């Protein structure tokens, strides 16, 4: 049996995952940086340096494997915060050299897509990718094409920004989801432009609102999720697909999944959200993408590489 060790380190998470070449996730360990104020790049990189060996050791232990059993090492080469990317990249190169294992640097966003496809067993879905820094509607047509995206910030970061203003801590998404359960509707702007969305105006407005925090959280979710549901539906129609795959950290939100599920049901499409343990940033998705790109080798980081820059001929 062949295994890939994947090291994730684009932003808040340092993770190590082990996946068999057949696509079974054997281990997936991570340490997530949290703070009251948000992410300071050098502080996050220090966090990752502190935990990188630990998560790798733990992953090997969980998988009951030694480094010598690993056939391939992959790491998140980008996009992401450069000081964090260096931690994952340097560790992958170091382990590769020491143990004579090939190393491949892969695109973190593409890894979110392919682990989504693997875990939901979808054939050719429209992907709704809703994470911290990214919010995009994507489907594979020669390459991963972006049909629509946020014109300013990703929804996860938008929610975290709102959380920072309101003192909810970081990451704020899960806290907002809990508060929203007890909220009722108050008016917020709705911002869809063609296939694109924008969140910063909504966040500014919501941050300044003096209404009950539960009501603001509820309305913020309803508004932003409705916008995503609208563009996801249009993408299904235009691209003539009948599968919608929800991926990225915000995909953990039950209300978002419920809204998308209703829309898909109404048009006879299949809906699935990536399982919770594979939704946020983690090493298993890096390992799986490494396996798909096992014939390539690379070093260094690519902080600004976009999803539609990636050559998908693997």
| Residue ranges in 81-140 that form contacts with ligand AMP under rule CB under 6 A | 131-132
39 binds ligand AMP (CB under 6 A): no
The three-state secondary structure class of 23 is: coil
6 binds ligand AMP (CB under 6 A): no
Q: Is the peptide bond before 171 cis (omega within 30 degrees of 0)?
A: yes
User: Contact, 113 vs 130, CB < 8 A?
Assistant: no
Please state, in angstroms and rounded to a whole number, the distance separating the CA atoms of residues 257 and 228: 11
User: Contact, 75 vs 103, CB < 8 A?
Assistant: yes
When CB distances are held under 5 to 8 angstroms depending on the partner's kind, the choice from Mg ion, ligand AMP, none that residue 229 binds is none
**Residues binding ligand AMP: number (CB under 6 A):** 18
When CB distances are held under 5 to 8 angstroms depending on the partner's kind, the choice from ligand AMP, Mg ion, none that residue 171 binds is ligand AMP
Q: Tell which residue, 117, 110, 69, 75, has the closest CA to residue 92.
A: 75
Residue nearest to ligand AMP (CB): 249
User: Contact, 163 vs 169, CB < 8 A?
Assistant: yes
Among 17, 116, 156, 290, binds ligand AMP (CB under 6 A): 156
Among 104, 106, 131, 264, binds Mg ion (CB under 5 A): 131
* CA contacts within 13 A on the Cβ side of 306: 10
Of the candidate spans 42-50, 229-237, 238-246, 250-258, the one that interacts with ligand AMP by CB under 6 A turns out to be: 250-258
280 binds ligand AMP (CB under 6 A): yes
Do the strands 270-273 and 243-247 form a parallel or antiparallel pair, or are they unpaired? parallel
Measured at the CA of 227, the angle between CA 211 and CA 261, to 5 degrees, comes to 105
When CB distances are held under 5 to 8 angstroms depending on the partner's kind, the choice from Mg ion, ligand AMP, none that residue 156 binds is ligand AMP
Choice between 131 and 235, CB closer to ligand AMP = 131
Distance of closest approach, residue 253 Cβ to Mg ion, in angstroms: 15
Choice between 105 and 173, CB closer to ligand AMP = 173
């Amino acid at each position: 049996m062949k295994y890939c060790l994947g090291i994730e380190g684009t932003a808040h998470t340092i993770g190590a995952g082990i996946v068999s070449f057949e696509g079974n996730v054997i281990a997936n360990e991570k340490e997530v940086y949290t703070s009251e104020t948000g992410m300071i790049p050098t502080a996050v990189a220090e966090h990752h340096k502190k935990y990188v060996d630990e998560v790798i050791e733990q992953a090997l232990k969980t998988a009951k494997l030694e480094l010598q059993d690993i056939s391939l090492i992959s790491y998140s080469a980008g996009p992401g915060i450069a000081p964090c990317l260096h931690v994952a990249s340097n560790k992958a190169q170091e382990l590769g050299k020491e143990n004579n294992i090939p190393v491949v640097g892969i695109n973190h966003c593409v890894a979110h897509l392919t682990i989504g496809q693997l875990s939901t067993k979808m054939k050719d879905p429209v992907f709704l990718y809703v994470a911290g820094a990214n919010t995009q509607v994507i489907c594979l047509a020669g390459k991963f094409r972006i049909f629509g995206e946020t014109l300013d910030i990703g929804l996860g970061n938008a929610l975290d920004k709102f959380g920072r203003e309101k003192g909810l801590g970081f990451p704020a998404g899960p806290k907002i989801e809990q508060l929203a359960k007890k909220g009722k509707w108050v008016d917020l702007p709705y911002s869809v432009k063609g296939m694109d969305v924008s969140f910063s105006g909504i966040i500014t407005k919501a941050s300044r609102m003096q209404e009950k925090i539960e009501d603001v959280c509820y309305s913020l979710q309803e508004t932003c999720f409705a916008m995503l549901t609208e563009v996801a539906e249009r993408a299904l129609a235009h691209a003539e697909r009948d599968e919608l795959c929800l991926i990225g950290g915000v995909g953990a939100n039950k209300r978002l999944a419920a809204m998308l599920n209703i829309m898909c049901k109404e048009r006879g499409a299949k809906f699935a959200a990536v399982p919770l343990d594979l939704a946020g940033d983690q090493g298993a998705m890096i390992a799986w993408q490494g396996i798909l790109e096992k014939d390539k080798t690379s070093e260094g980081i690519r902080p600004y590489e976009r999803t539609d820059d990636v050559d998908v001929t693997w």
